[in-house]
Amino acid sequence: MTASADPVAFSDPVYREAVVDLLAAVGYGEVSAFERLAEDAKLAPTLEDKLALGTFASQQLAKAQLICARLAELGTDPFAMMETFRDGFERFHAHTAPSDWWEGLVKAYVGDGLANDFYREIAAFLDPETRELVLTSLEDTGHAGFVVDRVRAGIEADHRLAGRLALWGRRLMGEALTEAQRVAADRDALSALLAGGVDMPGLDLAAIGRMFARLTDRHVERMTGLGLEH
Amino acid sequence: MTASADPVAFSDPVYREAVVDLLAAVGYGEVSAFERLAEDAKLAPTLEDKLALGTFASQQLAKAQLICARLAELGTDPFAMMETFRDGFERFHAHTAPSDWWEGLVKAYVGDGLANDFYREIAAFLDPETRELVLTSLEDTGHAGFVVDRVRAGIEADHRLAGRLALWGRRLMGEALTEAQRVAADRDALSALLAGGVDMPGLDLAAIGRMFARLTDRHVERMTGLGLEH
């Protein structure tokens, strides 16, 4: 059991709860990404793109399995823990249902990019083993390059696509921030992890502000990478 | 290139075409199984079952990738070849859209079981390397056991389910045979493979009849395994 292999961090019940919450959020996010990518695969214009999206979907599910295994090791019911994040993710998806192949591509790229950046920021506050698992779980498996390639070619073929997708990217960012704030407000342990504790360094309001500035910068970089105004 | 590694079989262009057709059919069937299982995963009553179905879906896609690699090795465009089987599969799926979680489970089990039995029968007529690939591609990865477990528990909880699913199983069998006959009529090379040639043993009408009897027997066994009348 890692709780005993890493007694300092996990002896703090608030820390432990924060780690379980974080892993459960990452895990549900991956299950949800699987579902969304499998759904997007249906809209693929070619069988080759369908297989590519399906493969990205499968990789998300494989990552979710690793998270489940770790949640079980920590003595929790992985499915029950992940389930507590269902509403937040489903609300986000209900508000951002893509209307076509292009919106689906951009959503996966922007949404996963943003979520991954956020989890990476949080990972700095974790014990090494959990950090390693979270970072592995966020590794890009070629998906971002695929989206950039397809969207740039799409805009090349039809320039009007750029304006529509730029608006769509802004809307996704807004919806994601709304949900992230809701989650932060609901999860005391996660917020406490970010805020630090007696013997843990944390973030003050200014530092949280800087973190959001970094997340926004990276979002802008991603949109630019797609060839879109932000 | 296997064409030179196995010159005897592949020097016959009709044989080669039959193998390409067969692999393309198996491959498209796996892509299609991925899509259907991912769709069924949405209906899963628990997150645990959703992950299980998602994992079975991913395994189908991984198998399709193997088939694609082999089709490319044989010098064909795997996507173009698989595409030629789209209509048959889509017609079958359009006629057998499951109305709920249970019908989805039974469809995957009965449909894949029947298709796999059929491909196994054909595999007997193949060169060893192709046979090996086809048989590996058909290996059950735990999916059948999962369906049997869930459906038996479902019938235990609600006995009325048994009658409805038994009817559903018969309908699936009928639709599958209709599509299989259509494919056989369209694909001369595949039919020729079954019928044999100058230096290849084939099936006469009586042997084809016996093959269908075996397929039906196994279908009945599967339905009995689910606890259903056939």
pLDDT digits (tens, 9 = 90+) for A161-171: 999 999 999 99
Q: Which helix (H) or strand (E) holds A219?
A: helix A205-225
Amino acid type, A195:
A
Overall residue count recorded for chain B in this entry = 230
B195 contact partners, CB below 8 Å, separation of at least 6: B202, B203
Structure tokens at A177: 């921030």
How many beta-carbon contacts under 8 Å exist across A and B?
67
- Residues 108 to 167 of A: which have CB under 8 A from any B CB? none
Q: Distance, in angstroms, between B24 CA and closest chain A CA?
A: 12
Chain B residues in contact with A46 (beta carbon < 8 A): 79
CA nearest to B78 within chain A:
A48
Measured CA to CA in angstroms, residue B191 lies from B6, B194, B196 at distances of: 22, 5, 9
Question: Tens digits of per-residue pLDDT, B62-117?
Answer: 999 999 999 999 999 999 999 999 998 999 999 999 999 999 999 999 988 988 89
Q: What is the pLDDT of residue A158?
A: 95
Lowest mean pLDDT among A6-15, A151-160, B219-228: A6-15
Residue of B nearest to A42 (CA): B35
The neighbour count for residue B163, using CB atoms within 10 Å, is 12
Contact B39, B96 (CB under 8 A): no
Q: What are the helix and strand counts (H, E) for chain A?
A: 12, 0
Q: Do A79 and B46 touch (CB under 8 A)?
A: yes
Residue among B39, B61, B82 whose CB faces A55 most closely = B61
Residue A36 is given by DSSP the state: H
Question: Which chain A residues touch B93 with a CB distance below 8 Å?
Answer: none
Q: Is the ipTM value over 0.90, yes or no?
A: no
Judged by CB atoms closer than 8 Å, whether chains meet at B34 and A42 is answered as no
Alpha helices per DSSP H over B74-142: 78-83, 86-95, 101-123, 128-138
The predicted structure's pLDDT at residue A2? 45
Q: Point out the least confidently predicted range of A15-19, A29-33, B49-53, B205-209.
A: B205-209
What pTM does this model have? 0.86
Question: Residues of A with CB below 8 A from B38's CB?
Answer: 34-35, 38-39, 41, 54, 57
What is the pLDDT at residue B4?
46
pLDDT of residue B197: 60
Query: Any CB–CB contact under 8 A between A31 and chain B?
Result: yes
User: Which residue from B198, B32, B63, B184 is spatially nearest to B121, judged by alpha carbons?
Assistant: B184
Alpha-carbon span B42 to A13, nearest angstrom? 34
pLDDT at A59: 93
Q: Say how far apart CA A221 and CA B127 lie, in whole Å.
A: 53
pLDDT of A37 > 80? The answer is yes
Residue A41: closest C-alpha in chain B: B35
First to last CA, chain A: 46
| A35, A50, A68: residue with CB nearest B31 | A50
Which positions in chain B touch A35 (Cβ < 8 Å)? 38, 41-42, 54
Q: Is A42 on the interface with B (CB under 8 A)?
A: yes
> Is the separation of the CB atoms in B225 and B148 below 8 Å?
yes
Hey, of A37, A46, A51, A66, which one would you mutate to test binding to chain B, going by the most B CBs within 10 A of its CB? A51
Burial A145-175 (b: 16+ CB within 10 A, else e): ebbbebbeebbeeeeebbebbbebbeebbeb
**A69 touches B: beta carbon within 8 Å:** no
Give the pLDDT band of residue A152 (cuts 50, 70, 90): very high
